[in-house]
Amino acid sequence: MASLINNGTFSFNKEELKDWSKVINELTFADPDLNALHDIQQGIKYNTQIVFAGRMGLMGKVVSGCTPNAVSGITLTEKTWTPVEFDFRLEHCSADVDAQDKLVRQMSRMNPDFYNVIEGSQSGIGNFLVAKVTENWKENLIRQVWFSDTTAETIANGGVLKNGTDKAYFNGFDGLFKQIFADINSGDSNFVSITKNAGASYALQALASGDAIATLKSMYNKADSRLIDSGLAKFYVTRSLWDGYLNDLEDVQNSGAGNTMINEKGQISLTYRGIPVIKVEVWDRVIKSYQDNGTKLNVPHRALLTTPTNIPIGTLAVDDFGKLEAFYDMYHKVNVIDAVYSIDAKYLENYMTVAAY
């Protein structure tokens, strides 16, 4: 049985976490970075409706006789939340900690409850493990929200997942890319083609100077005025496009005219015509790790112009992370962290979206 700790370079959290489910909920669903990307809706039950009211047509004709001129009605459409339950288990056996981990080895001589890191004098280690669950779960949440596909397959079976990938990590529900690619594609007025995605090799897929800023410009010009005027619009982009845009700005030394690069305390933030440009690095990591056929990447350059409220995440949890249990099994001398949570993601309205890929 493997340990979850491989070296002694980490720091222990001295404060015991009394309610891990609430803590993880606060650090994930309430995370400001995650909420900046998505509207997080809690308490979502299966088959909860999302209702859309369409725009009315033209109104008002010259009066003719005693019967008023009729107008077309309002068309109602809907989408449905279908949150899916997921679970995971982490096991930790203190005896299997790397032999070079001198700090933990010293504890084995000092503490009679060496094996138990959930309770007692070593609970700081358990708290550390829970903290790592929180840190890694948030990235996995973004992966699921964007890349899930109920028909996911490996390359050998006609899909885009790298051969050897366990597709069960990707096929729980249809994520945002699956939904958006099905709704917005070539020929649509709110679609921008990134031609380098079709390159037959890594080298041919590389963006050229000017490609990134041209993509953002095309997206902006194709955006519905209701999206631009909402005050909530954001460009969500792969790091490839973010870096390309940064290079384009440096090449032309353009820090005005609505194209802004701000470097504050070593952190660079970008906007295009006043709209924030958000780098979603998880996209790049997932594409490079799981959508690489050995010659080229699957759609390595992606961008979306929309609002957080148009791509919400739904979960049944309400101020509590589904279910999380941490316990020590004395018989097997193993520490166990079990979690169960529900999640779904919805792409809502077409006119509030411009997609580039």
pLDDT tens for each residue of 80-131 = 888 898 888 878 776 665 444 544 455 445 455 667 766 666 666 667 776 7
Which pLDDT belongs to residue 16? Answer: 38
pLDDT tens for each residue of 261-311 = 666 656 788 999 999 999 999 999 999 999 999 999 999 999 999 999 999
- The whole-number average pLDDT for the span 185-210 is 97
Q: Using alpha carbons, list the distances in angstroms from residue 105 to 4, 100, 249, 336.
A: 15, 8, 52, 20
Separation of alpha carbons 348 and 311, rounded Å: 6
171 belongs to a structural domain: yes
What lies within 8 Å, CB to CB, of 207 at 6+ separation is 196, 240, 241, 244, 301
Is it the case that residue 62 has pLDDT exceeding 60? yes
Q: How confident is the model at residue 336 (pLDDT cuts 50, 70, 90)?
A: confident
Which pLDDT belongs to residue 176? Answer: 98
192 belongs to a structural domain: yes
Amino acid at residue number 266? G
What lies within 8 Å, CB to CB, of 357 at 6+ separation is 181, 193, 194, 197, 299, 301, 302, 303
- Percentage of the chain surpassing pLDDT 70? 72
- The whole-number average pLDDT for the span 312-338 is 78
273 belongs to a structural domain: yes
Which pLDDT belongs to residue 15? Answer: 39
Which pLDDT belongs to residue 129? Answer: 72
Which pLDDT belongs to residue 297? Answer: 98
Q: What is the mean pLDDT of the chain?
A: 81
38 belongs to a structural domain: yes
348: containing domain: 20-54+77-356
Tokens representing 41 are 């809706």
Which pLDDT belongs to residue 65? Answer: 79
The position carrying tokens 């955006």 is: 223
14 belongs to a structural domain: no
Which pLDDT belongs to residue 12? Answer: 36
- The whole-number average pLDDT for the span 23-29 is 67
Is it the case that residue 195 has pLDDT exceeding 70? yes
- Measured N-to-C along each axis, helices 20-28 and 123-147 cross at an angle, to the nearest 10 degrees, of 40
Is it the case that residue 38 has pLDDT exceeding 70? yes
12 belongs to a structural domain: no
9-13, 295-299, 327-331: range with lowest mean pLDDT = 9-13
Which pLDDT belongs to residue 329? Answer: 81
81 vs 181: which has the higher pLDDT = 181
The reported pTM is 0.78
352 belongs to a structural domain: yes
- For 1-38, b/e burial (b = at least 16 CB within 10 A) is eebbbeeeebebbeeebeebbebbbebbbebeebeebb
pLDDT tens for each residue of 245-256 = 999 988 776 555
Separation of alpha carbons 274 and 262, rounded Å: 12
- Percentage of the chain surpassing pLDDT 90? 47
For the chain, the domain total comes to 1
Q: How confident is the model at residue 232 (pLDDT cuts 50, 70, 90)?
A: very high
| Contact (Cβ atoms closer than 8 angstroms) between residue 332 and residue 58 | no
Separation of alpha carbons 305 and 216, rounded Å: 9
- The whole-number average pLDDT for the span 54-68 is 72
Which pLDDT belongs to residue 137? Answer: 77
Closest CA to 88 of 142, 137, 126, 44: 137
215 belongs to a structural domain: yes
